[in-house]
Amino acid sequence: MGISLPNLEWLYLGYNRLDGPIPSSINDLSKLIMLDLGVNSFIGSIPDFGNLKHSQSIYLHQNHLTADKSQTQELTFLSSLTKCRNLKYLALADISLNGILPASIGDFSSSLQSGIPSSIGGCLSLEHFYLSNNSLEGSIPQSLGSVRNLITIYLSYNNLSGSIPKSLEDLHFLEYFNVSNNKLVGEIPEGGCFGNLSNKSFSNDHALCGLIRFEVPLCIENHHGSRRLKKFMVPSGVLVVTMVVIVILVFTKKCKPKKSPLLPTAISPMTEYRRVSYVELECGTSGISESNLLGKGSFGSVFEATLSDGLKAAVKVFNLQLQGG
């Protein structure tokens, strides 16, 4: 094949009834970009594909393949694939491989893109799920909520997007949950196991929101009834994770002293309190600008605000990434 079709770039043979071994001459198709041999009945070992340097996708899933192993029981064909520097997708599911992953697997193409397969929901006995510090993309599958014995889910430091599935509320044994440093958005589920997590981290740079105990911004309900994160922009250098705002309004001119039969008339002006909208606070501090900074304490910073009616307010912004914040 490699000799007679030297310019072949796309080879789609998936979802057929092909059997027998995969011809090693496929490795001579040096211009091949896509190789799809998935969902067939191929047998034998996986050949060396190291010469497919232009390949972006290789699909070998759902066959009856084995792997040639070295004396150390390592899966040597994986080492050959590290030469494919353009590889983005590699499918090896359901081919009954056994052996040791070689250390060279860390040398795979930096273009390789991965996701968490929905089939993870079939691992019903799984208790600890660690996938942190990878380059995983895509969403957290809804099916993960079917793995009812899960105690630990660590997915931090990836590129996961979408929302946290509400199905995870059904994981009644879940104690440790870390999805920090991803691209997740939306509201964090509140029920089920999310009310009793022993250790949790939801810190994302994007738009997760939820209850105060999750240490993320609160969700704001819009006029459609859906809940979302109210976006908050701060100048560079000002770290605000969750805002707890204390506003003290002292009326010195607009509030006259009130007489009381039990107290002298010469008393300090009364203090009144009223609700102040988020927008008014943001505008009154010029977007929580450093130019309005009054001072910094152990757990946050105090900013001067001038409200819409000219009143002065002290706005304290707590940094909940600090212990005690």
CATH no. for residue 296?
3.30.200
Same domain, 102 and 122: no
Q: What is the pLDDT of residue 31?
A: 94
Domain-located, residue 31: yes
Per-residue pLDDT tens for 91-136? 888 887 787 888 887 777 777 778 888 888 888 889 999 988 887 8
Same domain, 121 and 98: no
Same domain, 96 and 154: no
CATH number at residue 145: 3.80.10.10
Same domain, 107 and 121: no
Write down which residue in 203, 231, 259 finishes a domain. 231
Q: What is the pLDDT of residue 173?
A: 93
Write down which residue in 178, 199, 231 finishes a domain. 231
Q: What number of residues does the chain have?
A: 325
Check: CB of residue 172 under 8 Å from CB of residue 194: no
Q: What is the pLDDT of residue 36?
A: 96
CA 174 to chain centre: 18
Q: What is the pLDDT of residue 89?
A: 87
Q: What is the DSSP letter of 149?
A: T
Burial class (CB in 10 A: 0-12, 13-18, 19+), 79: middle
Number of other residues whose CB lies within 10 A of the CB of residue 290: 14
Check: CB of residue 209 under 8 Å from CB of residue 218: yes
Q: What is the pLDDT of residue 222?
A: 55
Same domain, 105 and 117: no
Burial class (CB in 10 A: 0-12, 13-18, 19+), 38: buried
Q: What is the pLDDT of residue 319?
A: 80
- Among 92, 181, 93, CA closest to 134: 181
SS3 assignment, position 77: helix
H-only helix segments in the chain: 76-81, 278-284
SS3 assignment, position 195: helix
Same domain, 119 and 167: yes
Check: CB of residue 227 under 8 Å from CB of residue 219: yes
Q: What is the pLDDT of residue 217?
A: 85
Sign of CA dihedral 287, 289, 291, 292: positive
Q: What is the pLDDT of residue 254?
A: 37
Same domain, 77 and 121: no
Euclidean distance between CA atoms 81 and 26, whole angstroms: 14
Q: What is the pLDDT of residue 249?
A: 41
The list of the chain residues with pLDDT below 50 reads 223-226, 229-270
Domain-located, residue 178: yes
Q: What is the pLDDT of residue 71?
A: 60
Domain-located, residue 240: no
Same domain, 120 and 152: yes
Question: Domain range holding 185?
Answer: 113-231
Write down which residue in 94, 112, 130 finishes a domain. 112
Same domain, 91 and 193: no
| Number of domains the chain is built from | 3
